[in-house]
Amino acid sequence: MKPESMDKVFHALASASRREILDIVKANAGCSVVDVCRHFDVSRIAVLKHLNVLEEAGLILSEKEGRVRRLYFNAAPIQMIYERWTTKYSADWASRLTEFKRTVEAAASSASAAPKPRK
């Protein structure tokens, strides 16, 4: 992946609205632009600008079906960035540390929820 392509992906992901659009498209593969617009209280033009940024970054693929533009999430650019900075070894350790963190947090949560002994 070229550095300028990575810049586009990071730029696209920097916006909370665009990340929300990605979540919507991922959950509803093949949804239309109108479907996405229903989730926002901004103009259709504003949503289209966000969609264009996401498309330029390669995070959304679209196809025309008559007058309807169908949208699909493309995880490949995110995966390519992930693979650039991780190795199989580091991914394994990151997974183990995440599991350890969950275990410790669950233990702390259950300890704080347990009734305290009376004096």
Q: Quick one: average pLDDT of 91-116?
A: 82
pLDDT at 52: 97
- 33 and 82, same domain (yes or no): no
pLDDT at 112: 73
- 100 and 70, same domain (yes or no): no
* Residue whose entry in the numeric block shows the structure tokens 């920097």: 14
Backbone angles phi, psi at 32, to 5 degrees: -95, 170
The answer to whether residue 119 is domain-embedded is no
Q: Which pLDDT tens digit goes with each residue over 6-45? A: 899 999 999 999 999 999 999 999 999 999 999 999 999 9
The answer to whether residue 116 is domain-embedded is no
User: Residue 4: how many CB atoms within 10 A of its CB?
Assistant: 7
- 63 and 82, same domain (yes or no): no
Q: Is the pLDDT of residue 1 over 90?
A: no
Domain that holds residue 11: 3-74
- 35 and 46, same domain (yes or no): yes
- 96 and 45, same domain (yes or no): no
Q: How many distinct structural domains can be found in the chain?
A: 2
Q: Which pLDDT tens digit goes with each residue over 36-78? A: 999 999 999 999 999 999 999 999 999 999 999 999 999 999 9
* CA distances for 9 relative to 13, 42, 82, 119, angstroms: 6, 23, 12, 58
Do strands 68-73 and 31-32 pair parallel, antiparallel, or not at all (unpaired)?
Answer: antiparallel
* pLDDT range class, residue 116, cuts 50, 70, 90: low
The answer to whether residue 62 is domain-embedded is yes
CA distance 59 to 8: 10
- 65 and 84, same domain (yes or no): no
